[in-house]
Structure 1
């Protein structure tokens, strides 16, 4: 049986192995492994790609969010609005700076923050909103920015899964006050290890983030604030410089695969395919469907379908089985089951299918046939 993984990074490496080897070899031969021209080159080119004047490399997407909050002086007594359905890091960093995450439900058709519910979550303590462009699709940034500007709130875009995605012709990461990116290997632009970046057009904010990420140093051995050590490694920057040249091509291939899933799975009973908003262009970091949850019918059960696909050698992923407001970490915030019904329902229904630029039509057809067969029994 030929197994079909959710992602196959070895296929990507084969296509760029020579370029990556040359870039890595150059760094190793130089003897300079922290900072240097490769990091500077990546920061400049990635900033230009996103459409901002300032880009700061850092250790991870989580650190990027942390740096953004610290640079905006968000801390104890402050509240930050985040979606209830996303990876824990988005809320975790809010807690890490001493602020309180305030959860908002999501849209069933996009998996993204329900902008209509943001207004009711704003209080006198609210300082920022973190929209997560989940699975590669942008939040409706036109409406969200209007709300933020009316209430004088900062907007920190969590672009971890959406590098290259656009809203109304603009790349995510240049629309809000700060954009935060992850280069974890599974991302559309992935390093061979951890990596991240923050983007902004505000020079003062950029200067604060550069200082905080380097032990709070305003000059060498002179720390003005409590900082952290969050570097984008030179080797990772060199690899990312190679991969950035291919990003648009890879995103286009993902979009082609997503369109085939739309066309061939869109009418399957009990299955809902994701919707792409007209003003946005997704980069499909994940292709996440919903398997309708019917407690009385095991055919329509995400976990049953997933197990049946696994028996056929098809690997899938579940992002995310527990909404943030029901995580044990946040029991002290007194959120209750049923408070965010869409996030809770989707946590029982979501299933991410294999999608990566090198996924073949034959492999995709196997996935499609298997899903149709599972849901027709």
Structure 2
């Protein structure tokens, strides 16, 4: 295990800067997830740590070593890609041990390490099969096993579950969480799926346009977002947002709901253009004949989501639980919880506290 440190790391492509001065510390044994929309730079940053992309400026350290310009094979990292990249003519055993064999490791050492990785990943029964005889989840476990046998200081995962169907993704998330618990390795994981980030990470790094927006634990980001982007990206369904006008002190008027509310902020909001945020589980719906219409209800069993249209056309998503639930076409009054409201500056999108 080793920690990973990035200091003012930048990446240019043909003069265009795509990674903008990233500073980050990943502690030894930590499961760190890079998350963000497509094109935010998360895979580029991971490939820079791996040495597959040249670092234009700044410093990358793994443990005590500066590896900024070190060959990828000598950085002490192992990478698992979206594609399994298995040799189709080799058995599972041969695929997992190939790197060690090519490195000149003794046969008994290769066998011992492969057998141990197979035990951890529950691949014992598949060792003599070839990749075509395996499911997608089993192939991904073989790819992870190939990384384990190398005994790296740091594991790097680049969207490893995106080729799997929904059921297998859930299964593999559990497998990865268990693997991290069992071997205690430092892992850096890239995904665009914030559900994966929330369920796997000790630390989440939210990226946008090559910049770090916020770093923190899953619930820290969920409960205390630094700006509107993080608030909207972390959480499923996403946080609701609507325009609000400061009318005095911490009070705002909400055109979408025809209400006035006091926000839990110390800043004066008088005359200020504010975006109000609140999560679907932090409001109540009360049937009211003159209320706002429910356009659609998404029933998911234990929970349902109502999609409501406000006075100015703003869409509001509300979570519903329990046996008695409202249905499409019903009209409702929306009751907000003043303690669970977030305020963001409309221009800068920064959180108002």
The bucket for the TM-score relative to the shorter chain is: under 0.3
TM-score normalised per structure 1: 0.25
The structure whose residues are more often helix, as a share, is 1
TM-score normalised per structure 2: 0.26
The structure whose residues are more often strand, as a share, is 2
Between 1 and 2, higher relative CO (CA 8 Å, sep ≥ 6) is seen in: 1
Higher gyration radius (CA): 2
